[in-house]
Chains A and B, each alone.
Chain A
């Protein structure tokens, strides 16, 4: 397993790498493709609205918008295939830590978080590198993306589809494509915008997906298990407030061998 990169800046702040350059580019690509797909797709779903025509005409009419939609969809599909291929190779060669894979612990975290929200629990549950809220969104993106790619291909090649599958797949795919898109956009607007922008924890924006790094303090606050994984010990504030600290508390910033600065 590759070690997590840690950067110590001149002013004393310690940055921990969260996303490799590959993941940052992947995210940027998804933004571009997603926006294009939404802008060219939703006018087709909401064909009755007046903005539908003007949005399509921005792309040069319905036919051009469809071409853009299909090209963007193809890019998205290749990206999805590439993404999954990277995971498969990474898993097989054991070089990748599957930090976004949902685990039973995530389900326990959901209940723990809920009982914390309702006040039945004193401390906030500790989250790994990605908490269940982020995993939910990622999983939705991957599974929803697969649905979109599959139904999109059905709609692009209806004749071919009918020759290998029952014809009823075509209207079902049309409804699925359009409903899944609505679900994806709704989750993005509500969940992603809250989680990465409007939530008081990150307001106005969690920049780590663009810069690739998160400060040590942020990591300790929001993903303390990952902090422990990186620095080899629980964050200071947790050790401080822990009801019964098991080991001695060190308030000095950790200087692990594991976190030797490289950049």
Chain B
């Protein structure tokens, strides 16, 4: 008993020592960092603010060593980090020579630079499809600097349009398709309510869109905005899209698969199967009722081959049934809503009466 408390006390004391030590380290390092940062930056910029210096790679290609001082100062790291915080391999002058095949080789070799501070984001990238592709040997797959830049890093979320522009560097075809879509057109008008690439695909942990899980959970992605009444009110859009989808066979199936009830043997329709992916266009206004039905039945037939035209009437277009739109469905729904409570209340009353009679008149 005594010994345990003593060891506990000792451990507490040890913790204190560690904590004090860390506090001391922080206190002594903070000003020195700022001081050394500014001073060392000036030292580096003595050479690197001059244009005309290049890194020469083994394949004969070159990379400029010029750093725009003004641009650096304006970047999120400007005035906060010193050059050697990122360029840690450099500590003396003249710099130690290292051999790289080409500029990409150099970038990839230094790809983990950001990890020291942005640990969580960096780790998420390790789970992303981009990193998978990089690992498979495709050197063009992006690392931090390809999307964020190096010396001119700004808040990646402003302007929003810039996010798509960055993705378009590689995914130009999809970007062009997206610009034609109902979302893309609105984004070009700086509409803040429409999604940019990262809203659906994520930024760092970016899962593979061809992964079955991405497909199964994609309806939740759409529902984030399309189930938001505040946001949809502005555009007079129906917010029952999620509930009506889930209440249908397709939706409840996908929802159950997404919750882990096995894997689908064949794909079951989700939002994008009827509405498209990057090329989403509005069903509203443009089409007459007959045209819309024709579009629906065409979509049905991608899976339900050879169904008759009347099959499209099975789909109530994301609207709750009403007496006018779907009298049969409306009637059945209402009928049971009345019938079930009525019967159950009747039965329970009958049971209670029986018990009451037995208790009072036995």
Contacts and interface: CB of A to CB of B under 8 A. Distances in A.
A26 B336 CA distance: 28
A187 B306 CA distance: 40
A182 interface: yes
Contact of A179 (B248, B261, B321, B340): B340
B340 A183 contact: yes
A194 B262 contact: no
B5 interface: no
Interface of A: 43-44, 47-48, 50, 52-53, 56-57, 60-65, 114, 116-119, 133, 155, 158-159, 162-163, 166-172, 174-176, 179-180, 182-183, 186-187, 190-191, 194, 199-200
Contacts of A47: 246, 252, 255-256, 259
A175 B332 contact: yes
27 contacts: A44-B252, A48-B255, A61-B262, A62-B261, A63-B262, A65-B261, A114-B353, A116-B357, A119-B357, A158-B311, A159-B304, A159-B306, A159-B308, A162-B311, A162-B313, A163-B310, A166-B310, A167-B311, A167-B312, A170-B314, A171-B326, A172-B326, A172-B328, A176-B336, A180-B336, A187-B343, A190-B347
A contact patch SS: helix
Contacts of A133: 350
Contacts of A117: 353-354, 356-357
Nearest to B321: A171
B249 A174 contact: yes
Given A56-B261, A114-B353, 20 more contacts: A47-B246, A47-B255, A48-B246, A52-B259, A56-B256, A56-B262, A57-B260, A57-B261, A57-B262, A65-B261, A163-B307, A163-B310, A171-B329, A172-B332, A175-B333, A179-B332, A179-B340, A183-B340, A190-B347, A194-B351
Contacts of A180: 336
Contacts of B249: 155, 174
Interface of B: 246, 248-249, 252-253, 255-257, 259-265, 304, 306-308, 310-316, 321, 326, 328-329, 331-333, 336, 339-340, 343-344, 347-348, 350-351, 353-358, 361
Contacts of B310: 162-163, 166-167
A114 B252 CA distance: 44
B329 A64 contact: no
A82 to B, nearest CB: 27
A44, A47, A170, A174: which has the most chain B beta carbons within 10 Å? Answer: A47
A61 B261 contact: yes
A190 B316 CA distance: 35
The residue among B326, B350, B358 with the most chain A CB atoms within 10 A of its own CB is: B350
Given A162-B314, A168-B314, A183 B343 contact: yes
Closest 4 A/B residue pairs (Cβ): A61-B262, A167-B313, A179-B336, A170-B314
B358 A167 contact: no
A216 B310 CA distance: 60
Given A52-B259, A187-B343, A175 B252 contact: no
A187 B304 CA distance: 37
A62 B329 contact: no
Nearest to B340: A183
A53 B316 contact: no
Nearest to A162: B311
Nearest to A179: B336
Contacts of A53: 256, 259-261
B201 to A, nearest CB: 26
B112 to A, nearest CB: 39
A162 B308 contact: yes
Contacts of B252: 44, 47
A62 B250 CA distance: 12
A2 to B, nearest CB: 33
Given A163-B310, A166-B310, A171-B316, A63 B265 contact: yes
A175 B356 CA distance: 37
B334 to A, nearest CB: 10
A55 to B, nearest CB: 9
Given A44-B252, A62-B253, A168-B313, A183 B339 contact: yes
Given A52-B261, A117-B354, A187-B347, A166 B313 contact: yes
Given A166-B310, A171-B321, A171-B326, A186 B265 contact: no
Nearest to B265: A63
Contact of B329 (A118, A162, A168, A191): A168
Nearest to A159: B307
A182 B329 contact: no
A5 B259 CA distance: 55
Contacts of A200: 355, 358
B255 to A, nearest CB: 5
Interface centre among A50, A116, A167, A187 (most CB of B within 10 A): A167
A60 B262 contact: yes
Contacts of B331: 172
